[in-house]
Amino acid sequence: MQNAIQLSEVESEESLKCNDTMELPDDLRFNSGHLVTIVTYSILMVISAAGNITVLIMTIIKKRKSKSRIHILIMHLSIADLLVTFLMMPLEIGWSITVSWEAGDAMCRIMAFFRMFGLYLSSFVIVCISIDRYYAVKRPLQILDVYRRGKIMLMLAWVGSVLCSLPQMLVFHVGTHPNYTCFTDCITFNFFPSHLHEISYTLFGMLMMYWFPLFVILYTYSSIFMEICRRSQEKNEDKIRRSSSGFLSRARIRTLKMTITIIAVFLICWTPYYVMSVW
């Protein structure tokens, strides 16, 4: 009888913690920080949707007129960004509104996968663009293999994004707060056997999504720059020979400027995030 009374008191205390929002700390209740997140993601979603849909339509139109590799790569990059726009951003907005996770364990794991899939795919497609531009400048005569190489790179980008995102479905799960048992969230808590394993998983994501693309970007575009400088010098020394080969046409220069702009945006957008993550 005494045990039943004690159990009833515990259940009443837990019910109080769950139902009385005053018992919840600020980070478990809707606050100004969540409002800022909702407004920020809403603005970014509108801008990203408008920009990427416009780019996607333009690249599809240009792709019909001329089967350019760069148009295909830009199209895949727009698709990757739209996956982030219409899957990750609405998730973050909805999550900020509810604060707790209300969609169940299965949806927690599925959305954890898609939260990272679009980001991985965007980074890997930028790697494909960098490698494609590298071969276009360094190996301009290898025309027969360029389309096959482009298809293989894009296939690897999509498959690699799936493989890198799959662990999210294992790591994330629905769990309850240890002190407020009615508060559920989509978390990684208690999955990793040690803090070292958790850090290793985070570093793996950082390596594949940021450092690997950054290394490829820096190597390919520094090589392109040095090649342009070298051939420009040769052009001055032998104008007749260089004018006949036409190494860099105006179209290639425009393409190069466009891809460098994409890389600059990648660095500007991702570097602060990972600096803060490390900090």
pLDDT digits (tens, 9 = 90+) for 128-176: 998 988 888 877 666 557 778 888 999 999 999 999 999 999 999 998 8
Rounded to the nearest integer, the mean pLDDT of the chain is 80
Least confident interval from 193-202, 215-224, 232-241: 232-241
pLDDT digits (tens, 9 = 90+) for 86-117: 988 998 899 989 888 988 899 999 999 998 99
227 compared with 49, residue with greater pLDDT: 49
Least confident interval from 19-28, 72-81, 217-226, 235-244: 235-244
pLDDT at 54: 93
Tokens of 238: 């032998």
% of the chain at pLDDT higher than 90: 32
Q: How far apart are CA 233 and CA 20, in angstroms?
A: 75
* pTM assigned to the model: 0.80
pLDDT digits (tens, 9 = 90+) for 56-69: 998 888 777 666 78
Q: How confident is the model at residue 248 (pLDDT cuts 50, 70, 90)?
A: low
Least confident interval from 106-115, 175-184, 251-260: 251-260
pLDDT of 5 above 60:
no
Tokens of 39: 């407004």
Asked if residues 126 and 263 have their Cβ atoms less than 8 Å apart, the reply is yes
Asked if residues 70 and 58 have their Cβ atoms less than 8 Å apart, the reply is no
pLDDT at 154: 95
pLDDT at 50: 93
Partnered with residue 184 across adjacent β-strands are 176
pLDDT at 71: 85
Amino acid code (one letter) for 99: V
